[in-house]
A = this chain, B = another copy of it.
Amino acid sequence: MTTKELRIGLIGGGRIGKLHGRNINTSVPGARVLCLAETMLNDEHKAWADDVGIPKVTEDPGDILNNRDIDAVFICSPTDTHADFIIQAARKGKHVFCEKPVHTDIQKIKAALAEVDKAGVKLQVGFVRRFDHNHRKVRDTVASGILGKPHIVKITSRDPEGPSLDYIAVSGGIFMDMTIHDFDMARYLAGSEVTEVMAYGAVNIDPGYRKYGDVDTAAVMLKFENGALALIDNSRAAHYGYDQRTEVHCDKGCVQAVNDLNDTSMISAAEGVLCAKPTWFFLERYNNAFIAEVIDFVDAVNNDKKPPVDGNDGMMAVYIAIAAGKSLKENRPVTLGEVMA
């Protein structure tokens, strides 16, 4: 393994950008963020950069893209800018870590992946849940083959609270914004490609979702090439905490993982037995996974390995999300073939 430090430029100083920035500078050996580019730069960004040891801040992403001292770019800006930044970074020979989804427009994604290919740089997409200790154990068990072929994949994914309706207006809909993680997880767990999608949705929590043609509750079934079936359920309101469970039923048995809890306590009294709640949201549940995915990205770049989640993974999840949206709208099963044509 090489010991050269990977020099990183961070585009986007929002919640997820800050998360990566802090993680890289405190918990990822062999990598360092040299610059934050944030078009809406303010004092708070500057203070944060200072606190986590990022020496430079700028309003201009070009300061990163054109900086020859920067080896890799983390794209944490709004989704509709992802593809363009990937293209620019690739042309400058920089490796790319891009948050999910790669983009909502398949043609844009294809153009970006082509540029990445041409440049021979690494591209990793931020499907962080693959790096969670629980889901990974489920997947590794399936992949080991000890349980035989997968038959049924189950994913429960519920947020403790929904985003603002302002965000819903621009989110791309529940399948592109939230379920896309589950679509990637389904492919990851099943070890096979999705062939068909059937999506149900409902507005059970906040009537405001209707205004944007979106739903706050969803149930989705998938068919896979290998014969497996998947069932996914989503809710924008699990007031008890982030509910993230996975399960694969196979030929010879079943593997499942439940939530991480705040602690392992149990209080028994006449009124009942009280246990700890799940961790609150993704910062609590997936922080170690966020670190692990970056460690793997650094390893892929420094040691010329295939990134663990690549551009094709990013694109396939978008295809499934598009099919799910079409299925919900037309109330019929939609094949991947239809949307990939």
Contact = CB atoms under 8 A, between A and B. Distances in A.
A249 B267 contact: no
A249 to B, nearest CB: 6
Interface in A101-159: 133-134, 136-138, 141, 147, 149, 151-152, 154, 156, 158
Interface stretch (A8-16, A65-73, A184-192, A254-262): A254-262
B239 A269 contact: yes
Contacts of A136: 263
A143 to B, nearest CB: 13
Contact of A198 (B217, B221, B235): B221
Contacts of A274: 272-275
A303 B257 CA distance: 43
Contacts of A223: 200, 202
A286 to B, nearest CB: 13
A237 interface: yes
Contact of A255 (B133, B217, B267): B267
Nearest to A232: B231
A151 B276 contact: no
Nearest to A254: B268
A210 interface: no
A36 to B, nearest CB: 19
A331 interface: yes
Contact of A229 (B27, B217, B238, B333): B217
A7 to B, nearest CB: 18
Contact of A269 (B147, B204, B262): B147
A137 B265 contact: yes
A245 to B, nearest CB: 9
A201 B134 CA distance: 28
Contacts of A339: none
A218 B235 CA distance: 23
A205 B148 CA distance: 11
Contacts of A55: none
Contacts of A273: 240, 274-277
B264 A258 contact: yes
A259 B264 contact: yes
B217 A219 contact: no
Given A134-B263, A228-B202, A270 B219 contact: no
A227 interface: yes
B239 A158 contact: no
A266 interface: yes
A293 to B, nearest CB: 17
A266 B219 CA distance: 22
A151 B264 CA distance: 21
A26 interface: yes
A233 to B, nearest CB: 5
A182 interface: no
Interface of A: 26-27, 133-134, 136-138, 141, 147, 149, 151-152, 154, 156, 158, 198, 200-205, 217-219, 221, 223, 227-231, 233, 235, 237-241, 243, 249, 251-260, 262-270, 272-278, 331-333
8 contacts: A26-B27, A141-B265, A149-B204, A152-B235, A203-B227, A218-B229, A258-B266, A273-B276
